[in-house]
Structure 1
Amino acid sequence: MPRVSQDHLAARRRQILDGARVCFTRYGYEGATVRRLEEATGLSRGAIFHHFRDKESLFLALAEDDARRMADVVAEQGLVQVMRDLLSNTGEHPADWLGTRLEVSRRLRTDPEFRARWAQRSEQLTTATRRRLLWQREAGNLRDDVGIDVLTSYLELVLEGLVSHLAMGLPADDLEPVLDVVEESVRRHRGRTTSAADERRAGENEEQNIPDAR
Protein backbone atom coordinates (compact mmCIF):
# COMPACT_ATOMS: atom_id res chain seq x y z
CA MET A 1 0.00 0.00 0.00
CA PRO A 2 1.60 3.33 -1.04
CA ARG A 3 2.38 5.85 1.66
CA VAL A 4 0.24 8.98 1.70
CA SER A 5 2.36 12.12 1.38
CA GLN A 6 2.35 14.81 4.05
CA ASP A 7 1.12 17.30 1.45
CA HIS A 8 -1.89 15.08 0.75
CA LEU A 9 -2.64 14.70 4.46
CA ALA A 10 -2.36 18.47 4.98
CA ALA A 11 -4.65 19.13 2.01
CA ARG A 12 -7.23 16.65 3.30
CA ARG A 13 -7.09 18.19 6.77
CA ARG A 14 -7.60 21.65 5.24
CA GLN A 15 -10.56 20.34 3.23
CA ILE A 16 -12.17 19.03 6.41
CA LEU A 17 -11.57 22.25 8.36
CA ASP A 18 -12.92 24.46 5.57
CA GLY A 19 -16.06 22.35 5.17
CA ALA A 20 -16.57 22.08 8.93
CA ARG A 21 -16.30 25.86 9.28
CA VAL A 22 -19.22 26.29 6.88
CA CYS A 23 -21.21 23.60 8.69
CA PHE A 24 -20.63 24.94 12.22
CA THR A 25 -21.39 28.50 11.07
CA ARG A 26 -24.65 27.45 9.44
CA TYR A 27 -25.96 25.00 12.03
CA GLY A 28 -24.04 25.69 15.24
CA TYR A 29 -22.16 23.01 17.16
CA GLU A 30 -25.20 20.98 18.18
CA GLY A 31 -26.79 21.18 14.74
CA ALA A 32 -23.64 20.14 12.91
CA THR A 33 -24.50 16.45 12.71
CA VAL A 34 -22.12 13.90 11.24
CA ARG A 35 -24.30 13.69 8.14
CA ARG A 36 -24.11 17.46 7.68
CA LEU A 37 -20.36 17.39 8.21
CA GLU A 38 -20.11 14.72 5.52
CA GLU A 39 -22.11 16.88 3.12
CA ALA A 40 -20.10 20.02 3.91
CA THR A 41 -16.71 18.36 3.53
CA GLY A 42 -17.56 15.94 0.75
CA LEU A 43 -15.99 13.14 2.79
CA SER A 44 -17.22 10.12 4.73
CA ARG A 45 -17.34 10.05 8.51
CA GLY A 46 -14.47 7.56 8.42
CA ALA A 47 -12.29 10.01 6.51
CA ILE A 48 -13.26 12.91 8.78
CA PHE A 49 -12.62 11.09 12.03
CA HIS A 50 -9.42 9.54 10.75
CA HIS A 51 -7.97 13.05 11.08
CA PHE A 52 -9.95 14.19 14.14
CA ARG A 53 -10.88 11.98 17.08
CA ASP A 54 -14.46 13.26 17.43
CA LYS A 55 -16.66 16.25 16.67
CA GLU A 56 -15.39 18.26 19.62
CA SER A 57 -11.77 17.67 18.60
CA LEU A 58 -12.68 18.84 15.10
CA PHE A 59 -14.33 21.98 16.44
CA LEU A 60 -11.39 22.73 18.74
CA ALA A 61 -8.96 22.30 15.84
CA LEU A 62 -11.07 24.66 13.75
CA ALA A 63 -11.26 27.26 16.54
CA GLU A 64 -7.51 26.98 17.08
CA ASP A 65 -6.89 27.38 13.34
CA ASP A 66 -9.02 30.53 13.25
CA ALA A 67 -7.32 31.91 16.37
CA ARG A 68 -3.96 31.38 14.66
CA ARG A 69 -5.12 33.30 11.60
CA MET A 70 -6.48 36.09 13.79
CA ALA A 71 -3.14 36.19 15.62
CA ASP A 72 -1.39 36.68 12.27
CA VAL A 73 -3.57 39.74 11.62
CA VAL A 74 -2.83 41.02 15.12
CA ALA A 75 0.91 40.66 14.57
CA GLU A 76 0.74 42.78 11.42
CA GLN A 77 -2.04 45.28 12.17
CA GLY A 78 -3.29 44.89 15.74
CA LEU A 79 -6.40 43.47 17.41
CA VAL A 80 -8.59 46.40 16.38
CA GLN A 81 -8.04 45.37 12.75
CA VAL A 82 -9.47 41.94 13.57
CA MET A 83 -12.57 43.74 14.85
CA ARG A 84 -12.75 45.84 11.68
CA ASP A 85 -12.52 42.67 9.60
CA LEU A 86 -15.44 41.19 11.52
CA LEU A 87 -17.49 44.32 10.88
CA SER A 88 -16.66 44.60 7.21
CA ASN A 89 -17.94 41.08 6.55
CA THR A 90 -21.19 41.04 8.51
CA GLY A 91 -24.60 40.42 6.96
CA GLU A 92 -24.80 37.89 4.16
CA HIS A 93 -21.04 37.46 3.90
CA PRO A 94 -19.62 37.10 7.42
CA ALA A 95 -15.88 36.85 7.99
CA ASP A 96 -15.08 33.16 7.77
CA TRP A 97 -13.98 33.05 11.40
CA LEU A 98 -16.96 34.96 12.83
CA GLY A 99 -19.23 31.92 13.01
CA THR A 100 -16.57 29.93 14.82
CA ARG A 101 -15.91 32.77 17.24
CA LEU A 102 -19.60 33.09 18.04
CA GLU A 103 -19.87 29.37 18.74
CA VAL A 104 -16.72 29.43 20.89
CA SER A 105 -18.18 32.29 22.97
CA ARG A 106 -21.47 30.42 23.44
CA ARG A 107 -19.80 27.19 24.51
CA LEU A 108 -17.44 28.98 26.89
CA ARG A 109 -20.52 30.20 28.75
CA THR A 110 -22.39 26.90 28.78
CA ASP A 111 -19.85 24.05 28.71
CA PRO A 112 -17.25 23.84 31.55
CA GLU A 113 -15.52 20.87 29.92
CA PHE A 114 -15.08 22.75 26.65
CA ARG A 115 -13.91 25.81 28.60
CA ALA A 116 -11.12 23.77 30.18
CA ARG A 117 -9.99 22.32 26.84
CA TRP A 118 -10.14 25.70 25.07
CA ALA A 119 -8.10 27.40 27.81
CA GLN A 120 -5.13 25.26 26.77
CA ARG A 121 -5.37 26.46 23.15
CA SER A 122 -6.46 30.09 23.31
CA GLU A 123 -3.26 31.80 24.45
CA GLN A 124 -1.92 32.57 20.97
CA LEU A 125 -4.28 35.50 20.36
CA THR A 126 -3.48 37.02 23.76
CA THR A 127 0.24 36.50 23.17
CA ALA A 128 0.08 38.14 19.73
CA THR A 129 -1.84 41.11 21.14
CA ARG A 130 0.64 41.58 23.97
CA ARG A 131 3.61 41.41 21.60
CA ARG A 132 2.02 43.92 19.23
CA LEU A 133 1.36 46.33 22.09
CA LEU A 134 4.94 45.96 23.36
CA TRP A 135 6.24 46.72 19.88
CA GLN A 136 4.00 49.78 19.65
CA ARG A 137 5.20 51.01 23.02
CA GLU A 138 8.84 50.59 22.05
CA ALA A 139 8.09 52.57 18.88
CA GLY A 140 6.62 55.36 21.00
CA ASN A 141 3.10 54.96 19.62
CA LEU A 142 1.38 53.53 22.70
CA ARG A 143 0.26 55.32 25.83
CA ASP A 144 2.66 54.61 28.68
CA ASP A 145 0.45 55.34 31.68
CA VAL A 146 -1.32 51.96 31.54
CA GLY A 147 0.29 48.52 31.77
CA ILE A 148 0.50 46.21 28.75
CA ASP A 149 -1.52 43.50 30.49
CA VAL A 150 -4.32 45.98 31.24
CA LEU A 151 -4.39 47.19 27.62
CA THR A 152 -4.40 43.60 26.38
CA SER A 153 -7.37 42.72 28.61
CA TYR A 154 -9.15 45.91 27.56
CA LEU A 155 -8.86 45.12 23.83
CA GLU A 156 -9.90 41.50 24.37
CA LEU A 157 -12.99 42.65 26.29
CA VAL A 158 -13.90 44.99 23.45
CA LEU A 159 -13.52 42.09 21.00
CA GLU A 160 -15.80 39.88 23.09
CA GLY A 161 -18.33 42.70 23.37
CA LEU A 162 -18.31 43.12 19.60
CA VAL A 163 -18.80 39.39 19.07
CA SER A 164 -21.74 39.42 21.51
CA HIS A 165 -23.22 42.42 19.69
CA LEU A 166 -23.00 40.62 16.35
CA ALA A 167 -24.33 37.39 17.88
CA MET A 168 -27.51 39.22 18.94
CA GLY A 169 -28.02 40.48 15.39
CA LEU A 170 -27.80 44.12 16.46
CA PRO A 171 -26.99 46.81 13.85
CA ALA A 172 -23.30 47.09 13.06
CA ASP A 173 -23.27 49.83 10.43
CA ASP A 174 -22.28 52.57 12.88
CA LEU A 175 -19.58 50.72 14.82
CA GLU A 176 -16.55 51.81 12.77
CA PRO A 177 -16.39 55.15 14.64
CA VAL A 178 -16.56 53.19 17.91
CA LEU A 179 -13.47 51.23 16.86
CA ASP A 180 -11.79 54.53 15.97
CA VAL A 181 -12.34 55.59 19.59
CA VAL A 182 -10.95 52.28 20.86
CA GLU A 183 -7.86 52.65 18.69
CA GLU A 184 -7.39 56.26 19.76
CA SER A 185 -7.74 55.34 23.43
CA VAL A 186 -4.55 53.23 23.46
CA ARG A 187 -2.42 55.65 21.49
CA ARG A 188 0.21 57.93 22.95
CA HIS A 189 -0.75 61.56 22.42
CA ARG A 190 1.92 64.15 21.67
CA GLY A 191 0.11 67.46 21.55
CA ARG A 192 -2.36 67.60 18.67
CA THR A 193 -2.60 64.23 16.98
CA THR A 194 -4.41 62.88 13.99
CA SER A 195 -7.13 60.46 14.97
CA ALA A 196 -7.70 57.06 13.40
CA ALA A 197 -10.87 58.40 11.81
CA ASP A 198 -9.00 61.42 10.38
CA GLU A 199 -6.32 59.14 8.94
CA ARG A 200 -8.92 56.94 7.30
CA ARG A 201 -10.76 59.92 5.83
CA ALA A 202 -7.49 61.41 4.59
CA GLY A 203 -6.67 58.15 2.83
CA GLU A 204 -10.09 58.09 1.19
CA ASN A 205 -9.74 61.72 0.06
CA GLU A 206 -6.27 61.07 -1.30
CA GLU A 207 -7.60 58.21 -3.43
CA GLN A 208 -10.40 60.42 -4.74
CA ASN A 209 -7.95 63.20 -5.65
CA ILE A 210 -5.58 61.04 -7.70
CA PRO A 211 -5.57 62.64 -11.19
CA ASP A 212 -6.75 60.64 -14.18
CA ALA A 213 -3.65 59.45 -16.02
CA ARG A 214 -5.41 59.18 -19.36
Structure 2
Amino acid sequence: MKHISPNQVAGETAVKMPTRRALAKQQTRAKVLSAARRLFSEHGYEGATIRDIAAAAGMSTGAVFANFNDKSDLFLEIMAQDLTALIEAMREAAAKGRGVEDILLKMFAAGYAFYKSQLPLARAAFSVSWAPQDGPVLRNAPQSHAMHELFTEQLTLAVERGELGQEAEIKLRSQMLFDAYLSNYPQAIFEGWSLDALQARARDQIRILLAGARRG
Protein backbone atom coordinates (compact mmCIF):
# COMPACT_ATOMS: atom_id res chain seq x y z
CA MET A 1 0.00 0.00 0.00
CA LYS A 2 1.33 3.39 -0.97
CA HIS A 3 2.17 5.54 2.02
CA ILE A 4 0.39 8.90 2.14
CA SER A 5 2.24 11.54 4.10
CA PRO A 6 0.40 13.76 6.61
CA ASN A 7 0.85 16.66 4.21
CA GLN A 8 -1.12 14.92 1.43
CA VAL A 9 -4.85 14.33 1.42
CA ALA A 10 -6.91 12.49 -1.20
CA GLY A 11 -4.27 12.83 -3.90
CA GLU A 12 -3.84 16.60 -3.44
CA THR A 13 -0.32 17.92 -3.57
CA ALA A 14 0.81 19.29 -0.22
CA VAL A 15 1.02 23.05 0.00
CA LYS A 16 4.61 24.13 0.06
CA MET A 17 5.33 26.03 3.24
CA PRO A 18 7.41 29.21 3.00
CA THR A 19 11.02 28.86 3.98
CA ARG A 20 12.49 30.56 7.01
CA ARG A 21 14.26 32.96 4.68
CA ALA A 22 11.02 33.82 2.90
CA LEU A 23 9.26 34.41 6.22
CA ALA A 24 12.08 36.68 7.36
CA LYS A 25 11.80 38.68 4.14
CA GLN A 26 8.05 39.07 4.64
CA GLN A 27 8.60 40.27 8.20
CA THR A 28 11.22 42.76 7.04
CA ARG A 29 8.91 44.16 4.36
CA ALA A 30 6.10 44.47 6.91
CA LYS A 31 8.34 46.40 9.32
CA VAL A 32 9.54 48.73 6.58
CA LEU A 33 6.00 49.37 5.34
CA SER A 34 4.74 50.06 8.86
CA ALA A 35 7.56 52.52 9.56
CA ALA A 36 7.16 54.18 6.16
CA ARG A 37 3.40 54.59 6.62
CA ARG A 38 3.95 56.36 9.94
CA LEU A 39 6.68 58.67 8.62
CA PHE A 40 4.81 59.53 5.42
CA SER A 41 1.84 60.45 7.61
CA GLU A 42 3.95 62.56 9.96
CA HIS A 43 6.31 64.24 7.49
CA GLY A 44 4.71 63.87 4.07
CA TYR A 45 6.25 62.19 1.06
CA GLU A 46 9.11 64.63 0.60
CA GLY A 47 9.90 64.90 4.31
CA ALA A 48 10.30 61.18 4.92
CA THR A 49 13.68 59.85 3.84
CA ILE A 50 14.82 56.28 3.32
CA ARG A 51 17.39 56.80 6.09
CA ASP A 52 14.64 57.84 8.52
CA ILE A 53 12.38 54.98 7.46
CA ALA A 54 15.18 52.47 7.95
CA ALA A 55 15.96 53.85 11.40
CA ALA A 56 12.28 53.74 12.40
CA ALA A 57 12.10 50.12 11.25
CA GLY A 58 15.27 49.28 13.20
CA MET A 59 17.32 48.24 10.20
CA SER A 60 19.88 49.50 7.71
CA THR A 61 19.13 51.40 4.52
CA GLY A 62 20.59 48.41 2.68
CA ALA A 63 17.87 46.21 4.12
CA VAL A 64 15.25 48.67 2.85
CA PHE A 65 16.75 48.73 -0.64
CA ALA A 66 16.89 44.94 -0.62
CA ASN A 67 13.10 44.95 -0.50
CA PHE A 68 12.14 48.13 -2.37
CA ASN A 69 13.74 49.88 -5.34
CA ASP A 70 13.38 53.39 -3.92
CA LYS A 71 11.10 55.62 -1.86
CA SER A 72 8.48 55.88 -4.59
CA ASP A 73 8.31 52.09 -4.85
CA LEU A 74 7.75 51.94 -1.10
CA PHE A 75 5.06 54.61 -1.17
CA LEU A 76 3.24 53.03 -4.11
CA GLU A 77 3.13 49.72 -2.25
CA ILE A 78 1.43 51.43 0.69
CA MET A 79 -1.04 53.12 -1.63
CA ALA A 80 -1.78 49.81 -3.37
CA GLN A 81 -2.57 48.18 -0.03
CA ASP A 82 -4.84 51.06 0.95
CA LEU A 83 -6.63 51.14 -2.39
CA THR A 84 -7.33 47.42 -2.16
CA ALA A 85 -8.86 47.88 1.30
CA LEU A 86 -10.71 50.98 0.12
CA ILE A 87 -12.30 49.17 -2.82
CA GLU A 88 -13.50 46.43 -0.49
CA ALA A 89 -15.02 49.04 1.85
CA MET A 90 -16.79 50.71 -1.08
CA ARG A 91 -18.07 47.36 -2.36
CA GLU A 92 -19.48 46.53 1.08
CA ALA A 93 -21.12 49.97 1.24
CA ALA A 94 -22.67 49.47 -2.20
CA ALA A 95 -24.29 46.23 -1.02
CA LYS A 96 -26.19 48.22 1.63
CA GLY A 97 -27.59 50.81 -0.78
CA ARG A 98 -31.09 50.97 -2.21
CA GLY A 99 -31.24 52.36 -5.71
CA VAL A 100 -28.35 53.58 -7.82
CA GLU A 101 -28.17 57.08 -6.33
CA ASP A 102 -28.09 55.80 -2.75
CA ILE A 103 -25.57 53.10 -3.71
CA LEU A 104 -23.19 55.60 -5.30
CA LEU A 105 -23.52 58.00 -2.37
CA LYS A 106 -22.69 55.22 0.08
CA MET A 107 -19.64 54.32 -2.01
CA PHE A 108 -18.41 57.92 -1.99
CA ALA A 109 -19.04 58.20 1.76
CA ALA A 110 -17.17 54.96 2.49
CA GLY A 111 -14.19 56.27 0.56
CA TYR A 112 -14.08 59.57 2.42
CA ALA A 113 -14.55 57.88 5.79
CA PHE A 114 -11.67 55.52 4.98
CA TYR A 115 -9.20 58.39 4.59
CA LYS A 116 -10.74 60.85 7.05
CA SER A 117 -8.88 59.20 9.91
CA GLN A 118 -5.55 59.38 8.06
CA LEU A 119 -5.64 62.68 6.22
CA PRO A 120 -1.87 63.26 6.44
CA LEU A 121 -1.31 60.12 4.38
CA ALA A 122 -4.05 61.18 1.98
CA ARG A 123 -2.27 64.53 1.63
CA ALA A 124 0.95 62.72 0.73
CA ALA A 125 -0.93 60.60 -1.81
CA PHE A 126 -2.49 63.71 -3.33
CA SER A 127 0.91 65.35 -3.77
CA VAL A 128 2.38 62.22 -5.35
CA SER A 129 -0.61 61.75 -7.67
CA TRP A 130 0.25 65.02 -9.42
CA ALA A 131 4.00 64.49 -9.54
CA PRO A 132 5.37 64.13 -13.12
CA GLN A 133 7.20 60.86 -12.45
CA ASP A 134 5.08 58.92 -9.94
CA GLY A 135 1.68 60.51 -10.56
CA PRO A 136 0.80 58.52 -13.69
CA VAL A 137 1.95 55.29 -12.01
CA LEU A 138 -0.36 55.88 -9.05
CA ARG A 139 -3.32 57.04 -11.15
CA ASN A 140 -2.92 54.07 -13.52
CA ALA A 141 -2.39 51.45 -10.84
CA PRO A 142 -4.53 48.31 -11.17
CA GLN A 143 -6.38 49.29 -7.99
CA SER A 144 -7.36 52.66 -9.49
CA HIS A 145 -8.77 50.86 -12.52
CA ALA A 146 -10.60 48.47 -10.22
CA MET A 147 -12.29 51.38 -8.47
CA HIS A 148 -13.33 52.82 -11.82
CA GLU A 149 -14.73 49.41 -12.75
CA LEU A 150 -16.72 49.37 -9.53
CA PHE A 151 -18.57 52.50 -10.65
CA THR A 152 -19.11 50.92 -14.07
CA GLU A 153 -20.48 47.79 -12.43
CA GLN A 154 -23.03 49.73 -10.38
CA LEU A 155 -24.25 51.72 -13.39
CA THR A 156 -24.57 48.52 -15.41
CA LEU A 157 -26.64 46.93 -12.66
CA ALA A 158 -28.84 50.04 -12.54
CA VAL A 159 -29.52 49.66 -16.26
CA GLU A 160 -30.39 45.99 -15.73
CA ARG A 161 -32.79 46.94 -12.93
CA GLY A 162 -34.44 49.47 -15.19
CA GLU A 163 -33.39 52.51 -13.13
CA LEU A 164 -31.25 53.90 -15.95
CA GLY A 165 -31.94 53.79 -19.67
CA GLN A 166 -30.02 51.65 -22.12
CA GLU A 167 -28.52 54.85 -23.59
CA ALA A 168 -27.01 55.83 -20.21
CA GLU A 169 -23.46 56.13 -21.64
CA ILE A 170 -22.10 54.03 -18.80
CA LYS A 171 -18.43 54.32 -19.72
CA LEU A 172 -18.50 58.11 -19.78
CA ARG A 173 -20.64 58.47 -16.67
CA SER A 174 -18.50 56.04 -14.66
CA GLN A 175 -15.38 58.02 -15.57
CA MET A 176 -17.12 61.23 -14.53
CA LEU A 177 -18.20 59.65 -11.23
CA PHE A 178 -14.63 58.52 -10.58
CA ASP A 179 -13.33 62.02 -11.32
CA ALA A 180 -16.01 63.59 -9.10
CA TYR A 181 -15.10 61.24 -6.25
CA LEU A 182 -11.44 62.26 -6.45
CA SER A 183 -12.24 65.95 -6.88
CA ASN A 184 -13.53 66.27 -3.31
CA TYR A 185 -10.31 65.24 -1.60
CA PRO A 186 -8.73 68.73 -1.73
CA GLN A 187 -11.64 70.03 0.35
CA ALA A 188 -11.09 67.29 2.91
CA ILE A 189 -7.31 67.53 2.95
CA PHE A 190 -6.67 71.26 2.72
CA GLU A 191 -9.93 72.88 3.86
CA GLY A 192 -10.97 70.51 6.62
CA TRP A 193 -14.42 69.67 5.30
CA SER A 194 -16.44 67.34 7.50
CA LEU A 195 -17.81 64.02 6.29
CA ASP A 196 -21.30 65.55 6.24
CA ALA A 197 -20.12 68.38 4.00
CA LEU A 198 -18.35 65.95 1.67
CA GLN A 199 -21.43 63.77 1.45
CA ALA A 200 -23.67 66.76 0.70
CA ARG A 201 -21.39 67.78 -2.16
CA ALA A 202 -21.21 64.18 -3.40
CA ARG A 203 -25.00 63.91 -3.34
CA ASP A 204 -25.31 66.92 -5.63
CA GLN A 205 -22.59 65.62 -7.95
CA ILE A 206 -24.21 62.21 -8.26
CA ARG A 207 -27.64 63.69 -8.88
CA ILE A 208 -26.30 65.89 -11.67
CA LEU A 209 -24.23 63.10 -13.24
CA LEU A 210 -27.25 60.78 -13.33
CA ALA A 211 -29.54 63.44 -14.76
CA GLY A 212 -30.73 62.46 -18.20
CA ALA A 213 -29.83 58.81 -17.69
CA ARG A 214 -32.89 57.85 -15.67
CA ARG A 215 -35.73 56.14 -17.38
CA GLY A 216 -38.74 58.42 -17.74
Do the structures match in fold with TM over 0.5? yes
CA distance in 2, matches of 1:8, 1:99: 30
| Matching residue of 1:49 | 65
Q: Is the 8 A contact 1:20 1:37 kept in 2?
A: yes
Aligned-pair identity in percent equals 22
| Matching residue of 2:77 | 61
Q: Is the 8 A contact 2:39 2:48 kept in 1?
A: yes
Q: Is the 8 A contact 1:34 1:45 kept in 2?
A: yes
Moved more, 56-65 or 140-149: 140-149
| Matching residue of 1:31 | 47
Q: Is the 8 A contact 1:83 1:162 kept in 2?
A: no
Moved more, 175-184 or 162-171: 175-184
Distance apart, 1:56 and its partner CA: 1.0
**Cα–Cα, structure 1 residues 179 and 45, in superposed 2: closer, same or farther, change >3 Å?**
same
Bigger Rg over Cα: 2
CA distance in 2, matches of 1:12, 1:155: 39
**Cα–Cα, structure 1 residues 9 and 162, in superposed 2: closer, same or farther, change >3 Å?**
same
Listed as ranges, the matches of 1:1-214 within 5 Å are 3-4=19-20, 6=22, 9-78=25-94, 80-88=105-113, 94-96=116-118, 98-109=119-130, 111-121=131-141, 122-142=144-164, 144-172=166-194, 173-185=196-208, 186=210
Moved more, 179-188 or 118-127: 179-188
Distance apart, 1:59 and its partner CA: 0.9
Output the TM-score relative to the length of structure 2.
0.66
Count of residue pairs the alignment pairs up: 185
Q: Mind listing any 5+ residue stretches in structure 2 that lack a counterpart? A: 1-17, 95-103
Q: Mind listing any 5+ residue stretches in structure 1 that lack a counterpart? A: 192-214
Secondary structure of the equivalent of 2:74? Answer: helix
Output the TM-score relative to the length of structure 1.
0.67
Secondary structure of the equivalent of 1:113? Answer: coil
